[in-house]
Amino acid sequence: MGRFQYSRCLLLGLILPSLCFARGQENKPAALKFDEYRLEFTRPEDEGARLVRFARRLKREPRTQAYIIAYTPRVLNFYGSSHWYIAENRCLTTKAELAHHYGVKESRLICVDGGVREAATLELWILHPQATPPSPRPEFQTSEIVNCYPVRASGDGYVLRRDSPLKFSAAFSLGKPDIPVTYLWTVSAGKIVVGQGQESVTVDVTEAKEKQVTAEVEVKGLPTDCQARASYTTVVGVVPYKLSEFEENYSEALQANLDNLTVFLQRDPSLQGYIIVYGGRIGRRAYAGMRAQRAKYYLTEIRGVSSDRFTVVEGGYREKPMFELWLVPRNGPKPIPTPTVDLHYVQFEGNPTKRKR
């Protein structure tokens, strides 16, 4: 503010104080809005790219601060990553990303809870020295947040015999609503004999001919914004039945699938496991055999499955090393391996045996 303007303000201070204040504010820098996006519609890799650009801008202007406004969504679904959409939690994760992954000093990061909007939203601002922080612009009151506990349906993935009734159940993720609800079940085949209106039902499929039976549950009494339907499908009487097929790119994948196979074998003594191991187009010569032995060891030594309850065979080669896990009845038809790469085109690497010195 110049000397003449300052003197003028002193003379007019008693008459026009607001005028002098407004002119004094004219020279203050404004906060710059850098970005805004909805979290639920942004892929993690896209959000990462936006934070990278934000961090680069902050590094080019070292005297500035990052001012982040996080908004909680109006509808909170208590499962998976939605917990991190809450503004307080989102502030923690965003500040951690900027500080630990992108090198922005924590002392330059300010994150505030902006209130509630229809969707979880993040605003990124550049705050210059002496600039006034932006004001949050919520769309709803905190009291208007709707807490949802999405329902899930479960059952047996596969059943060999039709004379065994099917059981389906409904459950809520990470808790149960504190309001009274009822359950309305429908099935694509068979008939409900026990449990209509309850969390679990029993379905008679003795006369059903379908290979798949789907049970759907609708939970009555939940808020209209909440997901209230779920379904589950059980395969019935298919022989042989492929339980899973997967690329073995890490050992945990094999263990998780063998654990699932164990559950079915323990549940039904009339079932046998049949495992087909495929080598990759590029790899070690004895890789499939090594993985077959690993599968046998895990089932017998770790899971305690008797060796007469499963069979492991090598199925040839595919583009990538693969496993197929099948369920078959005792003395029933066995699945046929389906290799996709001829041995002539397989490239072997290394040597599984130790060389002599």
| 43 and 136 part of one domain | yes
Residues of the chain with pLDDT under 70: 1-27, 79-82, 174, 350-357
* Domain membership flag for residue 333: yes
CATH of the domain at 180: 2.60.40.10
| 257 and 215 part of one domain | no
| 204 and 295 part of one domain | no
Identify the pLDDT of residue 245: 96
Tell whether omega for the bond before 62 is within 30 degrees of 0, i.e. cis: no
* Domain membership flag for residue 13: no
Residue 185 dihedral angles phi and psi, to the nearest 5°:
-105, 145
Identify the pLDDT of residue 21: 45
| 165 and 228 part of one domain | yes
Identify the pLDDT of residue 161: 92
User: Of 189, 215, 236, which residue constitutes the final position of a domain?
Assistant: 236
* Domain membership flag for residue 170: yes
Give the whole-angstrom CA distance, residue 235 versus residue 56.
Answer: 53
| 132 and 169 part of one domain | no
User: Of 96, 114, 146, which residue constitutes the final position of a domain?
Assistant: 146
| 67 and 100 part of one domain | yes
| Other beta carbons within 10 Å of 126 | 20
Q: What domain count does the chain have?
A: 3
Q: State the residue range of the domain holding 115.
A: 24-146
CATH of the domain at 250: 3.30.1330.60
Identify the pLDDT of residue 80: 53
29: DSSP letter? P
Contact call for residues 1 and 24 (beta carbons, < 8 A) = yes
| 204 and 289 part of one domain | no
Identify the pLDDT of residue 177: 77
| 124 and 163 part of one domain | no
| 131 and 167 part of one domain | no
| 186 and 132 part of one domain | no
Identify the pLDDT of residue 10: 46
> Nearest CA to 257 among 277, 239, 237?
277
* Domain membership flag for residue 272: yes
User: Of 106, 126, 146, which residue constitutes the final position of a domain?
Assistant: 146
* Domain membership flag for residue 2: no
* Domain membership flag for residue 356: no
| 71 and 140 part of one domain | yes
* Domain membership flag for residue 6: no
| 40 and 138 part of one domain | yes
* Domain membership flag for residue 317: yes
Identify the pLDDT of residue 79: 62
Where helices occur in the chain by DSSP H, the ranges are 3-12, 17-25, 44-60, 87-96, 251-267, 287-297
Give the whole-angstrom CA distance, residue 269 versus residue 274.
Answer: 14
